[in-house]
Structure 1
Amino acid sequence: MKGVWRELAGLVLPVDCAGCGRPRTELCAECLRALSRDGRGARRVRPWSVPAGLPRVWAGAPYADEVRAVLLAHKERGALRLARPLGTVLAGAVRGVGGGGGPLLLVPVPSARSAVAGRGHDPVRRIALAAAAELRRAGAGAQVLAVLRQCRAVADQAGLSARQRLVNVAGALAVPGAAGRLLAGAPVVLVDDLMTTGATLAEAARVVAAAGGRVVGAAVVAAPRSAFPVNGP
C-alpha cells in the first residue's frame, strides 16, 4: 500500500527532480543524460578485487552525483516512476552482456523481505521489469524470472570490506523448490541496481548455476567510477 500512496501523491503534489532538485519535474533532461552517460552506452566494469565466480558485469552509469541521487530516490524514497528511466539504463547494460541473440532471462538479485516491507516495493525487481519491457519494445526477447531468494539474514553491506562482504553473503541466496527448472534453456543475466565489490553477484551466479541456469553475465544500473575502464568513454 505504501507504493500506491506514493504514486497517488506524485500525481497531485509538486515534485522536484530526483537528481538535482530542479522544481516541477521528477527527472530533468540533464539528469536523464547523466543516467545514460550522455548517450555513450554501458561499459564493462570490474571491482578492484574480483571475487571468484563473478561473471562479466556491465554497468549503465557511474554511481555518483545525479545517478546516485536518482537511484536513492527510487529505492529509499519510493519515487516509483523513476523505475522506467532506470530500467532503460539497465536495458543498455543488458545489451552489453549479450547472450547469443536468443531470449534472455533477467534474474534480479533479491532484497530481504523486511527491506521490501519497509520500502513498500522491491526496487531491483521493479527496475528489472522496466528493463525487460524496454528490451521487448526494441525487439529483443526478455523476461524477468525472480527465482532467487534470501534464505538467511545478512548484515548491512555498507562499511564492510570486500572480504567481509563475501563472508556476509556466502550461502545467503537460494533458488527454492523446483524453480530451478525455469532457468534451463535460456541464457540468464543477473541484474541489480548497483555493484560495489561484486560479492553478491558472485554468490547469485554460483546459486543460479548450481540450480541449472546458464549465467552469461550480469547487468547493473551503476557501479563506482573506480570500476569503469580508465580509458573508457
Structure 2
Amino acid sequence: MRGWWREISGLVLPVACGGCGTPRTPLCEECARTLYGAGARRARPVPEPAGLPQVHAAAPYADAVRALLLAHKERGALGLARPLGVALAGAVRAAMPSAAPGSGPLLLVPMPSARRAVRVRGHDAARRMAQAAAGELRRTGTHARALPVLRQRREVADQSGLTAHQRVANLAGALEVTAGGARLLEGGRAVLVDDLMTTGASLVEAARAVRAAAGLRCPGHLRLSAAVVAVPPLSLEINRN
C-alpha cells in the first residue's frame, strides 16, 4: 500500500529537485551535472577486502549526489530512479566495456534489501535502479537486463559502527542465489549493482554467493564485476585505471 501511495502521490504533489530542492523538477541541471559530470571511475575501499570484484563508481557520495540517493532510497522520491539508473548505467559500461561476439546479455544483479527495510521504505531502491540502468543500456544499444537473483539467507547485525573487517565477518554466508537463479546466470556477464559502496563488505559477500552458484553449473566461465552510483570520497582510492 505504501509503495502504491508513493507512485500516485508523485503524480499529484509538487515536485522538487532531490538534490537541492529547486521546485518543479525532480533533478535540476546543476545537480544533474554533479551526478553525471565526474564520469565513471575505478573505486577501491581502503583497506580493500579479499574477494572484492573490480568496482566502478559514477560519482562521489557527497552534497547533491548524497541528497539524491537518500531522497530516492529513504524518502520515496521514485522519480529519481531513472536519473540514478542512467548514472549507474555509466558505471556498468566502465565495469564491462566490451563483449565477445555472441555473448549473452549483460546481467545486472542488484544487491538485495532486507524484507523489513523494503516494507519500511515501501520499495526496493537497488532493484529499481538496476531496472532503470538496464533500460538505459538497452536504449543505447547494449543487450542488458536486471536479474534480482540474490536474497538474504539469514539476519545480519546492523552494520553501522562496525569496522571494515567486522562487516566482512558479519555478512559472511548471509546471501544466496535464489532457486533457479544459477541457470539464469549462465553466460557469465554479471555485474553486481548498488547505490553505494563503503567498505565493500556487501559486494564481497554478493560476489561469493554469485560465484558459488555459477560455479556449480559453469565453473571457470563467470565474468563478474561491480558498479555503484557513488562512493564516499574520504574512505576510498578513486582512479581511472
**TM-score interval w.r.t. the shorter chain?**
over 0.9
Superposition pairs of residues 53-72 of structure 1, within 5 angstroms: 53-72=51-70
Match of 1:49 in 2: 47
Counterpart CA distance in 1 for 2:230 and 2:206 is: 18
Superposition pairs of residues 1-233 of structure 1, within 5 angstroms: 1-36=1-36, 38=37, 40-98=38-96, 100-101=98-99, 102=103, 103-212=105-214, 214-226=222-234, 227-229=236-238
Identity across the alignment (%) = 64
**Structure 2 residues not aligned, in runs of 5+:** 216-221
TM-score by length of structure 1 reads: 0.94
- Contact kept, 8 Å, 1:191 with 1:220, in 2: the verdict is yes
- Contact kept, 8 Å, 1:208 with 1:215, in 2: the verdict is no
2:140 maps to amino acid? A
- Contact kept, 8 Å, 1:97 with 1:216, in 2: the verdict is no
Counterpart CA distance in 2 for 1:55 and 1:85 is: 25
> 1:186 Cα deviation (Å)?
3.1
- Contact kept, 8 Å, 2:68 with 2:80, in 1: the verdict is yes
TM-score by length of structure 2 reads: 0.91
1:66-124, Cα deviation, whole Å (9 max, x unpaired): 00000000000111110000000000000001164142111111000111111111000
Counterpart CA distance in 1 for 2:84 and 2:61 is: 12
* SS at structure 2 position matched to 1:163: helix
1:27-49, Cα deviation, whole Å (9 max, x unpaired): 1111111111x2x4200000011
Q: 1:118 to 1:215 in 2, by over 3 A?
A: farther
> 1:164 Cα deviation (Å)?
1.3
Q: 1:99 to 1:121 in 2, by over 3 A?
A: same
1:24 maps to amino acid? R
- Contact kept, 8 Å, 1:3 with 1:80, in 2: the verdict is no
Q: 1:4 to 1:228 in 2, by over 3 A?
A: farther
**Structure 1 residues not aligned, in runs of 5+:** none
* SS at structure 2 position matched to 1:177: coil
- Contact kept, 8 Å, 2:107 with 2:146, in 1: the verdict is yes
> 1:2 Cα deviation (Å)?
1.4
Deviates more, 1:84-93 or 1:208-217: 208-217
Counterpart CA distance in 2 for 1:160 and 1:127 is: 27
> 1:165 Cα deviation (Å)?
0.7
- For the aligned residue pairs, the C-alpha RMSD in angstroms reads 1.4
* SS at structure 1 position matched to 2:238: coil
